[in-house]
Structure formats: structure tokens, C-alpha cells
Amino acid sequence: MTEQAVRVRFAPSPTGKLHVGSARTALFNWLYARHNNGTFILRIEDTDQKRSKSEFLTDIYASLEFLGITADEGPLFQSQRLPLYQEQAKKLLDAGSAVQEEGAVIFRVPPGQVTFTDLLRGDITVDTTLFEQIVLMKSDGLPAYNFACVVDDALMKISHVIRGDDHIANTPKQIVLYQALGFQLPVFAHIPLIVGADRARLSKRFGATSVDEYRQVGYLPEAFFNYLALLGWSPGGNREHVPPQEIVQLFDLTRVKKAAAAFDQKKLDWLNSQYIKQLPVGKLTDLLAERLIAKGLIQAGYDRPRLERIAALIQDRMRVLEDIEEDHAFFFKDQPDYQAEAIQEHLKKDGMPKRLLELKDRLSRLASFDAKAVEELTRGFAAEQHLQAKELVQPVRVALTGRAVSPPLFETMAILGKPTVLSRLEHAATTLVNT
């Protein structure tokens, strides 16, 4: 007997944005298919016509594309498969296994027990008296979830049903329908849910929960793929940074843990920063330019060499791509957004306005405004004023960037350029100190 070909499916409903937990389910299915040279099918469960919306369908496509999850078959839409459900419901009606009540088709469940083997949890037994009847077709003529799911999985020849463990309660109901219709059972594997830091089910109270939100903030696809894959699965060796192509090679469904996986935002941020550090500067520049143009901070005909210098300077400091507009917008604005605490702490010290104006005057006479020349002059001036370097560097940092924390100051000054540096020093010494 030849081994059954691996065919798996991901079946989202277009009733909301693609949740991180659903994306992880899609990823595990896709990884299992790719690892086993199988087929990954995308099925859209859109029979809830009132809640299904085209914008959510677009989001599902975009989110899967972001993660690099491609379908071998589909998308297939349940709303276009109504005759198939009607045909299978008629079989059960004709066999006397189902009856019509008030326009709905109801399956009467024989008393007994259902035992199935879950690939992760072993044998699970359920008493069918817990669900004495199952709706097959609703009175509006549309199939109920469990019935449509069984018909689709059977006719699509799904070999492995890999889904969240919140579906365990549905499985025995589906098994009695498989048996009544004479369909071969697939292998079931119920993966644990994702929980927040407090071990409660992941929800909006803990921040972003849709893939789109993470994409918008600027997590790299490879990093997010890597992180989702390691939520409940491990390649072994306590490894955390595992490239997607290697994850495909290593993925083993039997190594998925039974316990719920905790979503650790700090770990995701760290992992994303590692992927950002590995990007070629040119690629990072492209990604930053796309964001900055969208935010109106630079124009389409931007100064590419300058942005590459900025990208190289901040690359090791970045957590997400959004950091460019959140923490480094001072590179692109006429004036920085000044932090009031930083002004109070660093600019309003006795004698500081005078020192900033003197530094401005000396910097104006520099023939070369590169980082080395700027650093030598600034440190020399600090020593002359009997100051520790940081006692001058910090006020200058605030004057130029608006913040008490920034990329290395002298490289920042060189990128900002002499006119901008001189203008901001004067503004800080004459205007900010009086605010």
C-alpha cells in the first residue's frame, strides 16, 4: 500500500483581519506540506454572508503573502460549493440518518462513543450523548460549519487536519459525519493556542493581534515567519534565529508542544533586530525609503547616498522599521520634535546657551565637516571649557536631535550637514532655553 500524499488546508473566514494565531496555523500547515513535498490548499469559509467582507479577504491574501505562504490550490470558496453540500445532505436524508425540521437538515447522532487519535495528544474519547444532533444545512439553505468542513476536507482529499486545539470539541462531531457519509478519516493534529504574557488567550488587550498590524509597524517577513514557527515548535538546540528555508527542512509536526505558546513581544523585537542587522545596507535603505515616502518625510527623488549613510548608522539600533520615523525623524525634518524633559535637563544648565553659540561659531569655520573633524573640535572645546565630554555632548545631542538618546553624535552631525547643525545650535541657544 502506497503512503497517502500529504494534502493540508488552511480555511480562514473573511470576517476579520488575519489573527496571529490563525497565521501560525496557516504556517504550520504550509511547513508540513513543504517539508513532505505535499499540497497546501487555501479554502475560504465564507458562508457567513453577513460578516464576510472583501476587505478582510484582501487582508488574508496580503498577510499570507507577507509571510511567504503560497497556496498550491485555491483559493476555493465555500459559497461557490453549495451544490456539493446539498448533494451530501440528500444522501443522509435518503439514508434516514438525517431529517428536515423547520427548513433545516438535522443529523441524529447515534448514542455511543467516538475515539480518535490526535497526532499530538494521543487517543481522545468523547461520549456522543454530549451532542445528540448536528445541524447539516441551516434553514437559510447554507451549510453549518461542521458539515461543510467534513464535506470539503473529504472531497479535497485532505490527509492531515492541522488546526488550533479550540477545535478539539468539533472533531468527534465531524468524525460521526465522516462515518455516516462513508468518507475516509484524515489524521488530526490540534496545535496549542497562543496566549499572552499572563497566559490568557491572546487578545487586543495585549497589543497588536493581526498580522497586518505587525507588517505596518515594520517587522520583517523572515523574522515574523521565524518567530511564529517557534511558537510551540522547536528545531532543537535552543536555537531561536532559524532562517525560513531551514525551518522548512527541519519542521516536524510531532515536535509541536502540547502546552499553549506564550507570545513574547520582547523576543520578537530582539529577533527582528537580528534580521535587520543582517540586511544589506542597500536593502534596508529601500525599505526605509518606502516608509519615509509614505509618511511624507522624503520625496520620491530623495538623496539616496544620504539615506544609505543614515541606514548604516542606525542599523544596529533598530528594533522595527517604524523606528526610522519614530526615533530618527530629525534627519528629515526642518526642526526636530523636542522632548521637554531633555530640554530641561540638558539645555537649561548655567552657561550652556553661551557655550552652544561658541561651539556653533567654531564649527562654522571648519573646512571639512566630517565626523572626525567635528569630534576633534567638539571634544577640544569641551576640554577648554573644563567640561567632561558628555557635559557638552548631551546638550548638543538634544539641540540637534530633540532627544537625549540618538545614534552616535558626531556621525549624526556629519550627516545632518553644517548648515543644519549651525541652525539648530542657534535655535537651541536662543529659543529653546527660553521655553
Identify the residue whose cell numbers are 515548535: 233
Round to whole Å and give the CA distance between 203 and 200. 8
Confidence of residue 198 (pLDDT cuts 50, 70, 90): low
Q: Is the pLDDT confidence value at 201 over 70?
A: no
Asked whether 400 and 424 are in contact (CB, 8 A), the reply is yes
Alpha-carbon distance of 256 to 188, in angstroms, equals: 13
Banded pLDDT at 93 (limits 50, 70, 90): very high
**Residue 205: its pLDDT value, please?**
43
Q: What's residue 3's pLDDT?
A: 63
pLDDT band at 217 (very low <50, low <70, confident <90, very high): very high
End-to-end CA distance of the chain: 83
State which amino acid sits at residue 191.
I
Mean predicted confidence (pLDDT) in 372-382: 97
H helical segments located in 12-53: 20-35
Contact 253, 118 (CB under 8 A): no
pLDDT at 340: 94
For residues 330-355, average pLDDT: 93
Q: Which fold has domain 280-331?
A: Helicase, Ruva Protein; domain 3 (1.10.8)
User: C-alpha angle with apex 162: 160 to 163, nearest 5 degrees?
Assistant: 150
Neighbours of 371 (CB within 10 A): 16
Q: Which residues contact 236 (CB under 8 A, 6 or more apart)?
A: 250, 255
Q: How far is it, in rounded angstroms, from Cα 410 to Cα 293?
A: 26
In the block, residue with C-alpha cell 483581519: 17
Please provide the average confidence, as pLDDT, over all residues in the chain: 94
pLDDT of 206? 46
For the whole model, what pTM was predicted?
0.91
The confidence band for 203, taking pLDDT boundaries of 50, 70 and 90, is: low
* Separation between Cα atoms, residue 306 and residue 309, nearest integer Å: 5
Residue length, the chain?
435
Topology of domain 7-77+194-265, CATH: Rossmann fold (3.40.50)
CATH topology classification for 81-191: Rossmann fold (3.40.50)
Closest by CA position to 381, among listed 371, 367, 391, 369? 391
Fold of 340-434: Arc Repressor Mutant, subunit A (1.10.10)
Q: Determine the average pLDDT of the residues in 179-191.
A: 97
Find all residues with CB under 8 Å of 271, minimum gap 6, and list them: 223, 226, 227, 240, 241
Percent of the chain with pLDDT strictly greater than 90: 88
Catalytic residue list contains 204:
yes
Domain with CATH 3.40.50.620 in the chain: 7-77+194-265, 81-191
DSSP E strand stretches across 144-230? 160-164, 187-191, 194-195
Low-confidence winner among 150-159, 201-210, 315-324, 330-339 (lowest mean pLDDT): 201-210
Quick check: 362 and 377 in contact, CB under 8 A? yes
Residue 206: strand pairing partners: none
Assign 202 a pLDDT band (cuts: 50, 70, 90): low
Percent of the chain with pLDDT over 70: 97
pLDDT category of residue 394 using cuts at 50, 70 and 90: very high
Mean of pLDDT values over 85-110? 96
CA distances from 262 to 10, 217, 296, 334, 408 (A): 22, 21, 37, 43, 36
Does 199 score more than 90 pLDDT?
A: no
Residue from 53, 90, 204, 333 carrying the catalytic annotation = 204
The pLDDT assigned to 407 comes to: 97
pLDDT beyond 90 at 26:
yes
- pLDDT at site 2: 45
**CATH 1.10.8-classified regions of the chain:** 280-331
What does the pLDDT read at residue 433? Answer: 79
Q: Which segment of 53-62, 269-278, 318-327, 349-358 scores lowest on mean pLDDT?
A: 349-358
Q: What pLDDT, on a 0 to 100 scale, did the predictor assign at position 343?
A: 93
Q: How much is the average pLDDT of 415-420?
A: 98
- pLDDT at residue 204 tops 50: no
